[in-house]
A and B are shown apart, each in its own frame.
Chain A
Amino acid sequence: MNSKRRTLLQTGGGMTLLTMLAAAGWLQPRDALAADAWNAAAFDTKSMDDTFKSLGSGTPAQSKGITFTQTPDIAENGAVVPVGITSAIPNTQSIAILIEKNPNVLTAVFDIPPGTEPSITTRVKMGQSSNIYALVKADGKYYIASKEVKVTLGGCGG
C-alpha cells in the first residue's frame, strides 16, 4: 500500500521519463547509465568490409607495429585457439580481433585505458582455417595486421 502511494505521488510529482520507465520495470537503471552498450550491430557483421563499416574504422592501414604472439600456424582444435596481440603503435586505444571466415567476423574488442599495456591474450573459436586480423585504434586512426591460422578441426559446432 505504502509503495503504491509513493509511486503515485512520485508520478504525480513529475518524474523524468527514464525514472518512470525504471519504476515500471521497463528499463534497468544501469542500462540508462551504461557507458558502452554492447555493439550488437558490429558483432553481427559477416564480412570484413561490413565489420569495418560498423566499427567506423574505414579501411585500416597495414601496420608492422602489430604482432601476433602465442597464435599457432596450425590449430588442432578450432574450439580453442590461443591468440595474443601486441601493438607497438603509440597511444593504442583499442585492439579488436576479427576472424575472416567465422560466421560473424568480429570476435572481441579490447579497450586499452592509459597505463595498460596494449597487449592482450585470449582464446577464440574458429569455424575453419582463416586469416585472423588484429584491428588497432591508436590516436583515432585505425591499423591492421593479419595472420593465417589453419584449423584441422573446426570449432563453431554444428
Chain B
Amino acid sequence: MADPMRIRANVVGDSTEVKVLMNHEMETGQRKDAQGKAIPAWFIQSVSATYNGKTVLSAQWGPAVAKNPFLSFKFKGGAKGEKVQVTWTDNRGDKRTDEATIT
C-alpha cells in the first residue's frame, strides 16, 4: 500500500531512542484542486509503537501534522537485536505496521 516507514532505533545509555519517518500525504482537507473543489482530508489519526508486546508510545493526530510525518521519542530499556514495531491508522481505515531492529 503506502511506502514503508523508515524506523531507526538505537540504544542510548539505558534507553532506546526511536526515530520514525512515515510516508503519508497528511491532506488537511483545506486545499482546493484546480476546479475549486476541496481535496478531501486524508491523514494518519493514530500511531502506536510497541516493544516486547508493550506499548511505548501512542498518539492521536490531526491533519496539521506535517506531510511524511516525522516522530522521535525515547523509552527505558531495549537491547540490541530486539525489535520495535510502529503502526499507524488513517482516517480512511488504512493501516501500516513496520518493524525495526534496535542497534
Contacts and interface: CB of A to CB of B under 8 A. Distances in A.
A102 B28 CA distance: 11
Interface of B: 15, 26, 28, 30-32, 45-46, 54-67, 69-77, 91, 93
A106 B77 CA distance: 31
A109 interface: yes
B60 A112 contact: no
Contacts of B15: 117
* Most-contacted residue by chain B among A38, A82, A106 (CB, 10 A): A38
Contacts of B66: 79-81, 122-125, 155
Interface string A136-158: 00000000000000000001111
Interface of A: 28, 36, 38-39, 43, 79-82, 99, 102-104, 106-113, 115-117, 119-126, 155-158
Contacts of A113: 54-58
Nearest to B70: A123
Contact of B77 (A109, A110, A115, A126): A115
B59 A107 contact: no
B59 A121 contact: no
B30 A158 contact: yes
